Structure 1
Amino acid sequence: MFRSSKLKTMFLAISAIILAGSLITYPKESFEASIRGLNMWWEIVFPSLLPFFIVSEMLIGFGVVKFIGVLLEPLMRPLFKVPGVGGFVWAMGMASGFPAGAKLTARMRQEGHLTQIEAERLVSFTNSSNPLFIFGAVAVGFFHDPHLGVLLALAHYLGNICVGLIMRFYGKETPVKGKDKQGKFIVGTALSALHQTRLKDKRPIGKLLGDAVNSSIQTLLMVGGFIILFSVINKLLFHLHITAILAKGFDIILSALSFPDMLSIPFISGLFEITLGSDLTSRVMDATLLQQAIITSFILGFSGFSVQAQVASIIAQTDIRFKPFFFARIVQGIFASLFAFLLWKPIYVRFYETEQPSNAIPVSFFEEGTILHSYFYRLIDWGPLITIFSLSIYVLLLFNRLRNSR
């Protein structure tokens, strides 16, 4: 035990020394990677996640989450062996993307709505890419094909559901205390739970809103730090030829699957950071679109070490363990790749590879010149202003809190 602890200490120390030396050796590349990560954070991540985080905090404070939890108990408990509040966490995680599911799961655990095992089950399948990122950034931005977004989204969310169904077998079953009575009075029970929860939270609306903004921005600042850090690490690994060395190990697996070796470096990059990995995958001309879709699906499902580090930082505030989440990321990556392969002919080839027939699955909301397409690019244009304005409000709230505490 002591020996393994010493080895871990040595490994971490050597890694930190190599990172510091690399920053000195490659200052220009590090700076460019840092700017790239910063742009991604303040243009897209911060403005897109902040409203969801604030609204989530307010819904928790007003008791709406408890209301939803009682209503969804008959669905979430048999399927995933988690309480009904997991339905709210799952929906918000899918709508807003990483790492909203982890933040809300940690909050539910701190409030006592989940046991440790239930929280570990829930966090494993409530962290996913949001539709805007899959369609806007990956399908349209990288592959220039909004129709591919349908395949990637279906593979991603079906893989997500499969992970939830598998994780229901994780851990020992715990007795449900105070289980709500089901039947025709479930709505009344849910309304009563909403009212009681609101009464317990004695904060005035202004204080609740201020706390929601403060907590949300603190989390997003942490997220931004990880995005910038892993963007730099990914770039340095490439220049140190570590990515190429690791990629050679995956060449054997890719060759066995009849995939071109050129996909190995994008795959390794995607293990660290999903945006860069997806972008590099879309640029491999030797690969077919199906092969690119399979690799991209795995990258989206695995989420990358950058997102996993964000989740680890959030759940570290609770007793939720990281290992089940990491295992679930591998499983979702495998399932997402498998679904991308299985759905290729019935979905993409049938509806989109040739001229679109009348019964095709609609993706008009994500095509060029439409609502969500315009929203995505407006978010990039206005995102920095939203970020600066929100940070200014955060600084004012923090200054006011410090002044009142004196």
Structure 2
Amino acid sequence: MARTILYAAISILLVAAIIRQPDEAFQASLQGLTIWWNIVFPGLLPFLVLFELIAAFGLIHGIGVLLRPLMRTLFKLPGEAALPLLLGWMSGHQAGAEATAALRRDGLVSKREGQRLLALSHMPNPLFMLVVIGAGFLHRPELGLFIAAVVWLSALCTAGWNLLFNSRKDLSQNASLAATTASGGLFDRIADAINKSRERDGRSFGKALGDAVSSGVQKLLVVGGFMIFAAVAARLALPLIQFVLPSGAAELLLPALLESHIGAYAAAVWQGPGVSAAVSAAAVAAILAWSGISALLQAGYAITGTDLKLLPLIGVRLLHAVHAGALALLLWKPAQDILTLLPDRLTGVTAAMLQNGTEWQRPSNAYEAVTALGLPTLWPYTLTAAAVLAILFIIMRLAAPRTPDWKKH
């Protein structure tokens, strides 16, 4: 009852704030839309479509058989968990959450395994870190590589702690059964797993592709709604937060709490006493590791219908953020020594990364900065990513030997 009243009160306050500040709400909504269209949509769609195709053609089970020993040794997870892990690290939060939820619905991971996999696959888009943050936000492409490395290393450290405190063996029923009943050589077992899964699905390639594209676009529309809502809420709540916190701190903490893309920019342009480049990079890494309430709500939407919980994920995100910030400060000086050895031409690509190619000027705050003209876009990389993924899909499909018809009976 109390929670319902609280949600209703917050909704009424937001409506009142939008009515009172329609221009601010519109600008924030446009900024959220810009980030979604330029970064999230082209960065996520190929991976979401790929996962649906991999699942439809049984390759997820073949990958599970192939990578089962590695995943069990490193993460105490079934081999099928390798695909959500790769998709999350290669594409971003939503792809990892969607793939993890799909495995849990199919019973390929247990609840405890799914919870760990959800936390481990909840990662920021690597192209966003390498291209947008490095070249676009910080205007130092080599720092994008440093921040990405810090986020990835801290994720592995966090996964180690999570595994240490959840060390009880908890194999999923299907994975244990497959491990005990599988026979024959490795390629025979891979082919058998692929063929059995393909027969259960039964859709043609055209049908599977159409369903994959339709499902991916629908999911990304929901993601866009979350991002726009978070951007509007952050902008409208800023005057209230400034009564409690100094202006600079409020403009950093509020976007960082709600939306990681705007929060990362706020940290990149953060100015104040004692704010060095190392502190700014550490803040960006911590914000990306936290991912924001918007990304957490997207993960909660993805796991709807499963028994996976959002609260443990929030705890792991906080731990990851602490690890990322601390590791960035710890590795800053050695990383700078290494980065000085990189060719100077890497620092000359900044203008090419920007849509308008103009000289960069530091804005007064993060909300003024996130515009369609000044924000780098991932669209040029989408066709390349789609082509590479299509080639990998074809190679994986052809590499798996077919089981002769007489063996099926």
Q: TM-score range by the shorter chain?
A: 0.7 to 0.9
1:95 aligns with 2:90: yes
Letter in 2 for 1:341: L
Q: Partners in 1 of 2:68 and 2:325 — Cα distance? A: 31
Bigger drift between 32-41 and 265-274 goes to 265-274
Residue deviations 1:192-223, cap 9 Å, x none?
21121112111122221121112111111100
Q: In structure 2, what residue type is equivalent to 1:178?
A: L
Q: Does 1:325 align with 2:330?
A: no
TM, length-normalised to structure 1: 0.81
Matched, 1:267 2:253: yes
Contact 1:136 1:366 in 2 (8 A): no
Alpha-carbon distance between aligned partners in 2 of 1:102 and 1:173, rounded to the nearest angstrom: 23
Q: For 1:319, what is the secondary structure of its paired residue?
A: coil
| Partner amino acid, structure 1, of 2:207 | K
Q: Distance in 1 between matches of 2:45 and 2:344?
A: 29
Change (3 A) 1:381 1:82: closer
CA distance in 1, matches of 2:99, 2:232: 28
For structure 2, the residue ranges without an aligned partner over 5 or more in a row are: 358-374, 383-409
CA distance in 2, matches of 1:304, 1:124: 14
Q: Sequence identity of aligned pairs in percent?
A: 32
Matched pairs, number:
357
Deviation digits for residues 80-102 of structure 1 (CA, Å, limit 9, x no counterpart): 22111111111111111121100
- Tell me by how many angstroms 1:238 deviates: 0.6
Unaligned 5+ runs, structure 1: 1-5, 249-260, 384-406
* Other-structure match for 1:398: none
Q: CA RMSD in A?
A: 2.8
- Aligned AA (2:333): K
Partner letter of residue 174 of structure 1? Answer: D
* Partner residue, 1:337: 325
Q: Which amino acid aligns with 1:67?
A: G
- Say which SS state the counterpart of residue 179 (structure 2) adopts: coil
The answer to whether residue 346 in structure 2 is matched with residue 351 in structure 1 is no
The answer to whether the 8 A contact 2:289-2:320 is kept is yes
Aligned to 1:288: 276
1:150–1:363 contact (8 Å) kept in structure 2: no
Q: How does 1:112-261 map to 2 (within 5 A)?
A: 112-168=107-163, 169-170=165-166, 172-176=168-172, 177-180=176-179, 185-239=185-239, 241-242=240-241, 245=244, 247=245
Give the Cα separation in 1 of the matches to 2:125 and 2:324: 15
Cα pair 1:364 1:370 within 8 Å, conserved: no
User: 1:48 deviation in Å?
Assistant: 2.1
Offset from partner CA, 1:320-372 (integer Å, 9 cap, x none): 11111111100110111121112111112x123xxx33xx4999499447899
Which residue in the other structure is 1:35 paired with?
A: 30
Note if contact 2:53-2:209 (Cα within 8 Å) is conserved in structure 1: yes
Q: Counterpart in 2 of 1:53? A: 48
Change (3 A) 1:138 1:365: same
The 1:324–1:361 alpha-carbon spacing in structure 2 relative to 1, beyond 3 Å, is: farther
Taking structure 2 as the reference length, the TM-score comes to: 0.80
- Give the distance between the partners of 1:16 and 1:186, measured in 2 at CA: 56
Deviations 1:105-131 (A, max 9, x none): 011111221111111110001011122
Query: Given that residues 238 and 250 in structure 2 are in contact (C-alpha distance below 8 angstroms), is that contact kept between their aligned partners in structure 1?
Result: no
